[in-house]
Structure 1
Amino acid sequence: MSTLPIAAVVFDMDGVLTDTETIWDEVRRGLAEQDGVAWPEGATQAMMGMSTPEWSAYLTTTVGVRGDPGERTLEAMAARYRKHLPILPGAVEAVQRLAARWPLALASSSARRLIDTSLETLGITDLFQVSVSTEEVARGKPAPDGFLRACELLGVEPARAVALEDSSNGLRSASAAGMRVIAVPHKAFPPADDALALADVVVGSLDEVTVDLVAGLGSSDVSRPPR
């Protein structure tokens, strides 16, 4: 079996490090309620991973939110973050142990202001050599743009990088970029079966994401565990 050693790790943020997927949903549903429009079935999952312009347009055209839904959402999210930023168990520790072995990047669908606030709050800004916001690439997830840009900035081939993702669109994005993929499914918003099947490894929590696990993905022939 030929080997391709892992050279970098790229984290998603919302739903992997910070437990904010529920907050995004609450804020967006709140805007719809304020404007007196019904929340369409599947809207929550559809917007996961979209870039800011993409989900803002979706809120306008599909949901029917008025005004500038992008700015309204980001203002509300920033206010919620200032009150309390929920962190997923083992998030800081996972970043610390992987940063001791590999260069790290962040490829997030969040706006730059929310990324910077989150990393500063977690105290892990300096552990990431690179961070890429949805605002800084042409297309959001499931397109691979964010992950590809993160790898480019790190100077690492995508095939030698591992992505940690939770959502359907995030898993599709990392797979489309040609990366090794670790799925950390969010219990409230589990990914679709076809997206989960794209992962090389599925874990129950970040505590399972060890240096040995990541290093073990450094081959061209990784057997995926049964699910």
Structure 2
Amino acid sequence: MEAVVFDLDGVLVDSEQLWDEARRDVAARHGGRWHDRATGDMQGMSSVEWSAYMHDSLGVQLPPGQIAELVADELLRRYADHLPLLPGARQAVERLAPRWPLAVASSANKTVIDAVLVAARLESCFSVTVSSEEVARGKPSPDVYLEAARRLHVAPRHCVAIEDSANGIRSGLAAGLHVLAIPNPAYPPPPAVLALADVVLGSLGEITEETIDDLERRDRVEARLDEQEEQSFPASDPHSDWAGPPTAPAATAAR
């Protein structure tokens, strides 16, 4: 592997509940009506997408751009009181940073990403940060991971995505990255989606250099197996005289 790309919310910071509170506050203050599906629906959306959702589906009576700004302000106010860095986050980042260039690919606003990394004193560990608001589509579309790989100057297949959500896992896989999943206990991915990840761990504390190296070794083994399979079953030569397997003789009529 040549690079590691972290999601932010639910991977480095325990922020899903805080996002939910900030959005609910803005909705309540500006004429919106929250419904049970709203939290799950907005997971992985870019700020452009979830602010439009709050306007269109929840009835918040503000322009989407203003909704996004107010929610980000509410979230940053909460972070100023307490930054909920997840256990093992700092150690995982500082463990991997000397070996690989690191990036953040997140659905959070760019201002939120930058504020979190500065508050956590981890900004120097990351070469690249990408917000879904900088690309055409949010997760589960691959755009944010493709952009992170492009800025890292690394092919997606040589990158590892570290994700916690169903939409994040789908996004990383769609972009062609290897995916290391750490399921969010509050909003766990469906088992069928989790099964698609290359590796599933219980916490950031379990990530080591060996974890990433194992993905590299597995990739090499799979490449060799594919090569051997191609050699064992070469493509048919269109100019060959071979007419294919003999046809079975016609059945003899019963007498």
**TM-score higher than 0.5 here?**
yes
Distance 1:9 1:45 in 2: 26
1:90-110: CA deviations, max 9, x gaps? 001000111121111110111
**CA shift for structure 1 position 35:** 4.0
| 1:172 equivalenced with 2:167 (yes/no) | no
**Letter matched to residue 191 of structure 1:** P
**Cα deviation, residue 36, structure 1:** 5.2
Of structures 1 and 2, the larger Rg is shown by 2
3-state secondary structure, aligned to 2:215: coil
- Of residues 39, 51, 55, the one that matches 2:50 is 55
2:232 corresponds in structure 1 to none
Cα deviation code 1:103-154 (max 9, x no counterpart): 1111011111111110011111111111111221111111111111111111
Look up the equivalent residue of 1:201 and give its one-letter code: V
Name the structure 1 match of 2:89.
Answer: 91
- Among 198, 201, 208, the residue aligned to 2:199: 201
> For residues 144-223 of structure 1, what are the structure 2 equivalents within 5 Å?
144-218=142-216, 219-220=218-219, 221=222
* Contact 2:169 2:197 survives alignment (8 Å): yes
Q: Tell me how far 1:34 sits from its aligned partner.
A: 2.9
From 21, 26, 38, the equivalent of 1:26 is: 21
Runs of 4+ in 1 over 6 A off after TM superposition: none
Report the Cα distance in structure 2 between the residues aligned to 1:69 and 1:10, rounded to whole angstroms. 28
Whole-Å separation in 2 of the counterparts to 1:153 and 1:108: 14
What percent of counterpart residues are identical? Answer: 50
- Number of aligned residues: 217
Point out which structure has higher relative CO (alpha carbons under 8 A, 6+ apart).
1
CA contact (8 A) 2:146 2:175 kept: yes
Deviation for aligned residue 1:198: 1.9
Mapped partners of 1:137, 1:110: distance in 2: 12
Amino acid at match of 1:76: E
CA contact (8 A) 2:145 2:172 kept: yes
Please give the secondary structure, in 2, of the residue aligned with 1:187: coil
1:127 matched to 2:125? The reply is yes
CA distance in structure 2 between the aligned counterparts of 1:44 and 1:9, rounded to whole angstroms:
28
Over the aligned positions, Cα root-mean-square deviation in angstroms equals 1.4
Structure 2 unmatched ranges of 5 or more: 224-255
Please list every run of 5 or more consecutive structure 1 residues that lacks an aligned counterpart in the other structure: 1-5, 223-227
Query: Does the 8 Å contact 2:31/2:59 carry over to 1?
Result: no
Provide TM-score, normalisation by structure 2: 0.81
**Aligned position for 1:114:** 112
Alpha-carbon shift at residue 40 of structure 1 (Å): 1.9
Superposition pairs of residues 95-106 of structure 1, within 5 angstroms: 95-106=93-104
